[in-house]
Amino acid sequence: MEEPAPQPPEPEPATRPVRYSPGDGDDQDDSDLSDASMEEEDAEESEDEEEHTLAFKSPEDQVEIVAQMRSLEHAVPRLSDDYRLVDRLGTGTFSTVFKAVDLHHYNKWENALWDSAVPSASSSKGKVYVALKRIYVTSAPERIRNEITILETCRNARHVSKLVTAFRERDQIVLVLPYQRNDDFRDYYRVLSMDGIKAYFRCLLRALRDIHARGIIHRDVKPANFLYDPRTGDGTLCDFGLACHIERPGVHGQCLHTPAIKQYPHGRIRKHEELDSQSIRYKQREARQRQDARSDTVGYLEKDPRHVYICMLLLRCGLTPVRRPHSRANRAGTRGFRAPEVLLKCGDQTGAIDVWSAGMILAFFLACKFPLFNSNDDVEALMEIASIIGRKKMEKVATLHNRTFSTNIPTLDSDGMTWTNFMRKLNPDMDTPREPDTRYYPYYTSRATPPPSSSPTSSSSRSSPAAPSPPSRSAWERDVTNALSLLEQLLEPESIKRMTPAKALAHPFLAIPGTSDDNEVPHPVGEGRCGKWHFVDEETGELMIRVRPRSEEELRVYECPQVKGTVIRRIEAGDPDGVAIGPLPCRIHQDEPEFRVIDLDEDD
């Protein structure tokens, strides 16, 4: 029997606690306060704001949220021993996410495996906030297992939400994740500076690069699933509920391109001898003939009397009516963000579908419109894209995935337009520099500091006292040109030609002079300079490393048969010491002679 929902109490007012000032009672002028004390005061104010965000919501929302928080505390009694719920962060089809204070961050938990990957603005012991994700009981167990497994796999990926822990109470599943401060996308996408937009996409594309390298497709990249703090320019990719593993070569459909492989992360066109060219040309010709027919003769209802009559005639003649084979493909995603290959039910989907979604977000920034597409089904979504790229290009995309695209809509242009022209039509003032908004990055802070997310709470730096000046028109136009160039490659309709996250980070719009993302990328297990000494145990799934033995006895008992003179040890998933970064070995192997990096600038 379902238990009645508890009656929520009236929400408490957001009162600010009285703070003790170290200077009270001393013969000291206010002007003598140090920068440290001012920053400490800002940190306390930030803590107050974070803890009392519920009080700024409408009374109706407060009652609903308090009821949901009490319901969770009642369903999972032990939750209150370790966490104090303070607000609701969001709700979706499969879960609700709450903000909570971690009551024992400093004296009970071992946080090194996830806290090291989260930027901290201060070493002071302030309040630490986490996100508690309550997964609904209607979610399939396999879906829950898949999300937790993928979060474990992506533990060392940059700008990706880390899994702190997870626990079950009867039929209740709760995931504990770091809290990332963020604003609603609608509040800043029209006014964010070019530097802020660049910071947004550097974070997002780094996250995509790292999860794709680990064989993961997010499948639901959108502003709501990328928690971006426009004050600091730091973002985190979250919600892996729809994520999946990239299928390995050999498990694919009938597309004309290959699955993802290391050399071609988005696949490549199959060799000529692998294709049935004659059949492809016949299907294309048949599709073009159909689009010239009258609308009342193109297709018919499945239960149309004419269709039933034809099937009966075939059966009487001893023939079996042939039905079109059903295409099985993962179509998960959000309306308006799904790539053409998803809409065409491609069976060999790659990380390119996430890149398309990232391109759509960039289009929102450039067009100053959100959302751009609002279709009701897959057919309408295809027509929305075709109305921009044109019929010919859409036919080519369909052929790549062994499909045909046929329409007799007379207004559909054959050649379409470029995404650049489409953006300029939507936003004629694109070349006009935006006025600096001191609420947001980079004008909000005088020096770069990360937000108080999943780490001791502290504030960002104070706003610069000098009023910022807008960028020069030439610099702005150069950024717009580069952004449009990047957009064209992110929204390339053919998935095999779509830019990869690694190449996007090296694009002139996002590249940082004098640095390369290749030098900062954390490698997956088995890759990087010392990759051959890292592996996953096939039986237990645990991460293992090969290291030099501490003693002869250890070598005798645990010697690795593949590499003589080494032993095998287990390592925690997410241990930062066991991750190879860029061209360097991991810290565990940095002193091994096999992986020592020779500095060419050293004196002989």
Mean pLDDT computed over 380-395: 94
Query: What is the DSSP annotation of 429-442?
Result: TTTSPPPP-TTSTT
Mean pLDDT computed over 247-264: 70
- For this structure, is 48 an active site residue? no
- Decide if pLDDT at 163 tops 50: yes
**Residue-range domain boundaries for the chain:** 531-595
In which element (H, E) is residue 165 found?
A: strand 165-169
- Decide if pLDDT at 193 tops 90: yes
Mean pLDDT computed over 509-523: 96
Confidence of residue 247 (pLDDT cuts 50, 70, 90): confident
Mean pLDDT computed over 110-125: 51
Helices (H) and strands (E) in the chain, counts: 17, 12
- At 555 the pLDDT is 85
Q: What residue type is assigned to position 218 of the chain?
A: H
| This prediction's pTM | 0.81
| Range name among 57-66, 213-222, 259-268, 529-538 with the lowest pLDDT average | 259-268
- Decide if pLDDT at 132 tops 50: yes
| Range name among 500-504, 526-530, 562-566 with the lowest pLDDT average | 562-566
Provide the strand spans (E) within 195-336.
216-217, 226-229, 234-237, 244-245
DSSP state of 322: P
In which element (H, E) is residue 59 found?
A: helix 59-75
Mean pLDDT computed over 343-357: 92
- Decide if pLDDT at 107 tops 70: yes
What span, in angstroms and rounded, lies between the C-alpha atoms of 316 and 527? Answer: 62
- Decide if pLDDT at 209 tops 80: yes
Compute, in degrees rounded to 10, the torsion defined by CA atoms 216, 220, 223, 227: -50
- Decide if pLDDT at 315 tops 90: no
- At 596 the pLDDT is 76
Dihedrals phi, psi of 271, to nearest 5 degrees? -65, 155
Mean pLDDT computed over 76-91: 94
- Decide if pLDDT at 452 tops 70: no
Mean pLDDT of the chain: 81
**Between 411 and 458, where is the model more confident?**
411
What span, in angstroms and rounded, lies between the C-alpha atoms of 156 and 179? Answer: 17
- Decide if pLDDT at 418 tops 90: yes
Catalytic pick from 220, 229, 479, 517?
A: 220
Specify whether the CB–CB gap between 130 and 102 falls below 8 A.
yes
- At 445 the pLDDT is 56
Mean pLDDT computed over 117-140: 73
Q: Dump pLDDT digits (tens) for 50-82.
A: 888 999 999 999 999 999 999 999 999 999 999
- At 313 the pLDDT is 65
**Residues paired with residue 100 on neighbouring β-strands, in sequence order:** 85, 130
Nearest of 54, 141, 135 to residue 94 by alpha carbon: 135
| Range name among 23-27, 362-366, 525-529, 559-563 with the lowest pLDDT average | 23-27
| Range name among 227-231, 320-324, 429-433 with the lowest pLDDT average | 320-324
For 387, half-sphere exposure in the C-beta direction (CA atoms, 13 angstrom radius) is: 13
Dihedrals phi, psi of 543, to nearest 5 degrees? -80, 135
Handedness of CA 366, 372, 378, 384 (dihedral sign): negative
Q: What is the Cα 256 distance to its own chain's centre?
A: 28
Confidence of residue 255 (pLDDT cuts 50, 70, 90): confident
Mean pLDDT computed over 153-173: 92
- At 348 the pLDDT is 85
**Between 38 and 383, where is the model more confident?**
383
- At 25 the pLDDT is 41
| Range name among 45-49, 151-155, 282-286 with the lowest pLDDT average | 282-286
Helix, strand, or coil (residue 16): coil
For 481, half-sphere exposure in the C-beta direction (CA atoms, 13 angstrom radius) is: 7
Residues 6+ apart with CB under 8 A from 92: 239, 241
